[in-house]
Amino acid sequence: MRAFEYASPTTKEQAVSLLGNSWDEAEVLAGGTDLLSLMKDGCVAPKRLVNIKEIRELRGISAGGGGLRIGALATIQELLDNRAVSRAYPAITQAAEGITSPQIRSLGTIGGELCQRPRCWYYRAGYGLLATDEQGEPLVPSGDNRYHAILGNAGPAYFVHASSLAPALIALGAKVRLFGPDGVREMWLDQFFTTPLTADDRETALKPNEIVTEIIVPTALGVKSATYEVRQREALDWPLATASVALSMSGDRVRVARIVMGHVAPRPWRAAEAEQVLAEKAVTEEVAQKAGELALNGANSLSRNGYKIQLARVAVKRAILMAARGGRG
């Protein structure tokens, strides 16, 4: 890890003024569970760390008439402990349950979870975000890509987005609020995630001098939701594929469905075709199966990750069936 300057502002205005205009100047430090390993592995080497944990207004979770507000500094544990969340938004709680380490749950924040960087083993070994060799040739397509993307993987990005919460939040129609030198920006969380085209890009719409302040999730009246995660181990392990589903119901028929897959593409992946097949139907095993197939219609495997297509299909099918049962597994 390289030497760095450390700042601990108490307001978001101060925080933003301490950030730089380019990514190598400063990084936001929240729980640090990802940032510190990125720094130790030399993937990022900021000149300054801006600790945001002293900014009180970024904390807390509140549920009310207007829906749910999750402060960027709310921890994964706080999210898990919140009864209002688990009652109305089981997809979120189930996604958080997949992060099984008590240490990461206690330190990791929602802002950090959404802004965490890819776990691609080439990136983490120092080959850059787009994982290229000295000649600029991509390492992933011909390398070991068993954990890489099966959708949106035409290049140059092949990694999968690491966030487990993002698919659930997007499925539930969440918005994200950012704060920067020009004040507040708000956007659909779905649009917050981007696929980088150069190694210097990031995976979000965040600018180097902005911070995430909160997430807003609309009320979930009449919405049934669930997240299904395919993971190899019970112990802390990255999902191989996840699917989060939110079904707006009228009676026992689906009015509108939103299906978002995680860990399959460089960004959380919306499955529009699959969403449509559910509309105006009662959820059955057959419909869920069909949706799973449609969700992976455009999938393309790399040399050794074909199995993930099957896993994602199963995740979608099972998440739909779980949601229809009211979020129970």
Ligand X SMILES: Cc1cc2nc3c(=O)[nH]c(=O)nc-3n(C[C@H](O)[C@H](O)[C@H](O)COP(=O)(O)OP(=O)(O)OC[C@H]3O[C@@H](n4cnc5c(N)ncnc54)[C@H](O)[C@@H]3O)c2cc1C
Positions in the binding site for ligand X (CB under 6 A)? 27-35, 52, 72, 98-99, 104, 107-109, 111-113, 115-117, 162-165, 206, 211-212, 236, 238-239
Name residue, tokens 């919405």: 223
Of 56 and 328, which CB lies nearer to another protein in the complex structure?
328
Asked if 142 is part of the footprint of another protein (rule: CB under 8 A), the reply reads yes
Q: How far is the CB of 183 from another protein (least distance, A)?
A: 38
Please choose, from the candidates 185, 175, 250, 262, the residue with its C-alpha nearest in 3D space to the C-alpha of residue 216.
175
Candidate list 66, 306, 326, 329; residue touching another protein; CB under 8 A? 306
How many degrees, rounded to 5, is the angle at CA 98 between CA 325 and CA 84? 60
- What are 217's strand-pairing partners? 68
Of 72 and 322, which CB lies nearer to ligand X in the complex structure?
72
Asked if 247 is part of the footprint of another protein (rule: CB under 8 A), the reply reads no
Give me 17's structure tokens.
């003024």
Please choose, from the candidates 2, 281, 13, 263, the residue with its C-alpha nearest in 3D space to the C-alpha of residue 146.
263
Please choose, from the candidates 113, 63, 97, the residue with its C-alpha nearest in 3D space to the C-alpha of residue 218.
63
Asked if 305 is part of the footprint of another protein (rule: CB under 8 A), the reply reads yes
Asked if 192 is part of the footprint of another protein (rule: CB under 8 A), the reply reads no
- Give the span between the Cα atoms of 54 and 9, in whole angstroms: 7
Q: Are 223 and 249 in contact (CB under 8 A)?
A: yes
Candidate list 53, 69, 119, 202; residue touching another protein; CB under 8 A? 119
Residues in touch with another protein (CB under 8 A): 1-3, 100, 119, 121-122, 125, 127, 133, 139, 142-144, 146-147, 230-238, 240, 299, 301-307, 309-311, 313-314
